[in-house]
């Protein structure tokens, strides 16, 4: 994957108070569970990994779940699975909407919790359910996964990031309980390329980041991954891909994003491309590469956690 540092600058300035509160709550909830499930977006496994979660998990049995694998590049998902495996992690790729991989997830929880169950049996404890928590950033699919596992709309889901309300234990089968939690971002997004990718996938609210910068990065990655797709999707001429500054304007003209005087409404064009990516009309594109280095911006904003 090509270096895109020239397009990266601070784009995200957001850390709502409820996120800081949720972080403190999660630290308390983790103490009450036996197994932790960390849900990552398979399109951005590194960018969607909240370092706060790694800190609070500690020595608890821990499963990495690459959700939305149906939206990601299968080869990249395999590479990320191998990467986490070499780190000694239990890792699964799933699609929470369709339920693909859910049975394997339950089996993995049961396997990791077996030593705990054995200790209970030695103490004469036979009735306690294994408790697990699903942690992850906003909009990564936690509530959808619980709904599928429970077989009913057990938790409220929302299209807007960070809008799962309340926490509740959900019974899964006879011996497993799941606790849903709010999605949690972290207070300092030092890697602004990761921040941009969080924005692309909808983990960050669309009204709090610089759309122009984000879309430059997205178009560059789509072009590098599959230039023919851009040509076909937006009826472009191949040579129109050569100038990244003019590419968005060309897309806007093809899509009729014109205002008085024949001027292209670039903001409207950006939102069309963003929606196309999120709706999988720009292919199965994984944004994070296993071998990428973070892009650190020195003047990254630190967010108010009060």
Binding site for GTP: which residues? 67-70, 139-144, 183
- Sheet strands (E) in 138-239: 169-172, 176-179
* φ, ψ for residue 41, nearest 5 deg: -85, 120
**Known binding positions:** 67-70, 139-144, 183
* φ, ψ for residue 273, nearest 5 deg: -65, -40
Question: Using CA atoms, how far apart are residues 12 and 32, in angstroms rounded to an integer?
Answer: 33
Question: Using CA atoms, how far apart are residues 63 and 105, in angstroms rounded to an integer?
Answer: 9
Burial state string for 92-108 with b = 16 or more CB within 10 A and e = fewer than 16 = bbbbbeeeebbeebbeb
Paired sense of beta strands 169-172 and 176-179, if any: antiparallel
* φ, ψ for residue 24, nearest 5 deg: -65, -40
Bridge partners, residue 91, by sequence: 64
């Amino acid at each position: 994957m090509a270096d895109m540092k020239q397009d990266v600058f601070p784009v995200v300035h957001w850390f709502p108070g409820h996120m800081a509160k949720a972080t403190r709550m999660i630290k308390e909830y983790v103490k009450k569970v036996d197994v932790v499930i960390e849900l990552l977006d398979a399109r951005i496994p590194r960018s969607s990994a909240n370092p706060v979660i790694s800190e609070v998990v500690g020595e608890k049995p821990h499963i990495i779940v690459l959700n939305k694998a149906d939206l990601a590049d299968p080869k990249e998902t395999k590479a990320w699975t191998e990467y986490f495996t070499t780190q000694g992690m239990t890792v699964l790729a799933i699609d929470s909407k369709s339920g693909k991989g859910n049975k394997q997830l339950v089996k993995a929880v049961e396997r990791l919790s077996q030593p705990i169950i054995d200790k209970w049996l030695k103490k004469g404890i036979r009735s306690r359910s294994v408790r697990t928590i699903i942690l992850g950033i906003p909009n990564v699919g936690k509530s959808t996964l619980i709904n599928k596992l429970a077989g009913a709309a057990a938790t409220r889901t929302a299209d807007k990031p960070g809008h799962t309300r309340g926490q509740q234990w959900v019974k899964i089968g006879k011996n497993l309980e799941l606790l849903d939690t709010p999605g949690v971002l972290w207070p300092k997004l030092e890697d602004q390329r990761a921040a941009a990718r969080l924005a692309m996938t909808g983990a960050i609210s669309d009204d709090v980041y610089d759309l122009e910068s984000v879309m430059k990065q997205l178009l560059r990655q789509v072009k590098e991954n599959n230039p023919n797709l851009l040509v076909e999707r937006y009826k472009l001429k191949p040579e129109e891909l050569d100038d990244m500054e003019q590419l968005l304007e060309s897309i806007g003209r093809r899509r009729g994003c014109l205002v008085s005087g024949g001027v292209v409404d670039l903001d409207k064009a950006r939102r069309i491309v963003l929606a196309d990516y999120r709706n999988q009309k720009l292919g199965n594109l994984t944004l994070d590469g296993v071998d990428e280095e973070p892009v650190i911006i020195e003047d990254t904003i630190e967010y108010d956690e009060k």
